[in-house]
A and B are shown apart, each in its own frame.
Chain A
Amino acid sequence: MREDLRALLLVTLWDVRKVARYKVFLLMRFAWFIVQVSVFAVLISYLVTIRSLGTSGIGYYEYYLFGAYTALLFSISMFRGYEIAEEFEEGIIEYQLSLPIKRRILAIGRTIGGGIASFIYTLPMMLFILLLLGITNPVLIAIAVLSALAFSIGIVGLAINIVFGLKSGDKTDILFGVVDALLVRLSTIFYPLPFLSVFPPYFYAAMYNPLSNMADFLRALFFFQDLKIFIHAPPENLVSYIVGLSVGLSILAMLFIERRVEGGGWK
């Protein structure tokens, strides 16, 4: 048990330590986020209005900021898949599979490590939007951090399942693009759920979408009174969904790596 925990810590730290290597990546993502928040979000917020449904004080800009952060957290967590794809090409995965570490430990360690690393990448962006919105409550910020971490771990679990399952750089690239496009657009990242009710398939897809649940939880956490008309479930249900997603997808990644994955065969 103790050995397992030590191995888990080693694998987790292996992923986390890589954060320092990606300074350029982090800078570019931050720059991209600044553009998104200061150009796209500002212009789009002038173009639309959500106050007609009865929000008080909070406009589309504030609503969208949490969506933009959630979309970014999702993309960066999925991006771990590209890294794993590269590790396959370089033979690092085969090396890791040959280590005297149980596969379930390897899977959990990579999922948690990837989740923490992804969250660290997005931490400057989270602080940036909290600063923009003037949020200073430490308890709420701590809850937001923990929920973002749980969400990130879940999405990394999903990315691991996809990359290990496909074992192809091209297919990974394409599928990630499609998943990203569909999940971001069929969610409440850009638009409040009531506006989707005109298209029932979109409405239900958005309601059960992990991105909607994460973005709406952050909105509920900080601006529940202002935005409750747009939030489809109580905050405790939303956070349960996020934790369930995290645990479920991590277990799925663990089972998959333990039972099915072998070295080689990368296309």
Chain B
Amino acid sequence: MRSYARGIQIVVMRDLDRFWKYKWWLAGLITMNLTDLFIFALIFNGIVNRAYIDNYLLFIAPGITAIATFASAFSIGREVGVEVRRGYTQYLLSLPLTRFQLSIGRILGGALRGLIYQIPFIALLLILYWSIPSIEKFSIMIATSVMLTISMSSLSITISTAVRSFDLQATMRSFTYFVLFFFSNVFYPDALIRKYFPEILYIIISNNPVSIATSIYRWIFGVMPVEDPLILVIKMIIWCLVFFILGSFFYLRNLMA
């Protein structure tokens, strides 16, 4: 059991080690997320209807923190995609590790990347709201981030192993990003979605994993009240499990091919 966990740890640490080599990648990602916050949100704050949102920068910041995990966790999918294309998986299979260890290791490696990337954004939330959440809320925030990054990492591995072409992978990645982003409550409050859109669309948008995580962060920092945070956490657990199973299945299928 211990050696089994050690095998997973080696795969995770290898992926983490490779993450640090992408300094420019990280700089690029941070720039993209910060432009949303300090260009888009700042300017938008000047034209937003105050009846809905007092301060758009503070409103959107938790959403950007949630979506930030996407690109960093998705970097693992990009690497897996390159490995598939170049036949590098043969080398991975020759290692003294089981396929399941490899699969779990890759997903957790991606999740760890997402978590590390998210830390500065969480710090930014603490600065922007100028408040420190209670230990209970802080634990929920960490758990949410862990589940969200596992979901994103698994989703990216699913896409990269299902599609082999480099440009189609990039398209799928962008498409997934936009669907998760636009069909979420990152940009607009739930009340507005409910007011103008059919109930079914509201249900879809509010149950998107990014929306769930954003709602939890907003609740933690007191931006928006939530009826029952436990329900949101349970929904997040379900998403995490679904994506984890999907990611593992597709990665294993890819190894077997």
Contacts and interface: CB of A to CB of B under 8 A. Distances in A.
Nearest to B167: A82
Interface residues on B, range: 35 or more
A89 B166 contact: yes
B182 A202 contact: no
B31 A46 contact: no
B28 A40 contact: no
B166 A174 contact: no
Nearest to A175: B28
Given A40-B187, A82-B167, A190-B40, A182 B47 contact: no
Given A44-B188, A46-B196, A196 B43 contact: yes
B172 interface: yes
Contacts of B182: 35-36, 39-40
B29 interface: yes
A191 B171 contact: no
A82 B40 contact: no
A145 B129 CA distance: 47
Given A48-B44, A85-B166, A202-B43, A174 B28 contact: yes
B48 interface: yes
B203 interface: no
Given A25-B167, A178-B32, A191-B47, A47 B22 contact: no
B171 A29 contact: yes
Contact of A49 (B28, B47, B195): B47
Contacts of A35: 178-179, 182-183
Contacts, number: 120
Given A46-B196, A85-B166, A28 B175 contact: yes
A239 B174 CA distance: 30
Contacts of A6: none
B40 A49 contact: no
Nearest to B43: A191
B178 A36 contact: yes
B24 interface: yes
Interface in A30-86: 31-32, 35-36, 39-40, 42-44, 46-50, 60, 75, 79, 82-83, 85-86
B32 A181 contact: yes
A177 B166 contact: no
B43 A39 contact: no
Nearest to B22: A170
Given A32-B175, A82-B167, A181 B49 contact: no
A186 interface: yes
Contact of B183 (A28, A39, A202): A39
A195 B167 contact: no
Given A35-B179, A43-B196, A50 B47 contact: yes
A267 interface: no
B238 interface: no
A48 B28 contact: no
B245 interface: no
A177 B29 contact: yes
Given A43-B188, A181-B32, 12 more contacts: A39-B183, A48-B49, A49-B47, A82-B167, A82-B170, A86-B166, A170-B22, A173-B78, A175-B28, A178-B28, A181-B31, A185-B36
Per CB-CB distance, the 4 closest pairs between chain A and chain B, nearest first, are: A174-B28, A181-B32, A185-B39, A40-B182
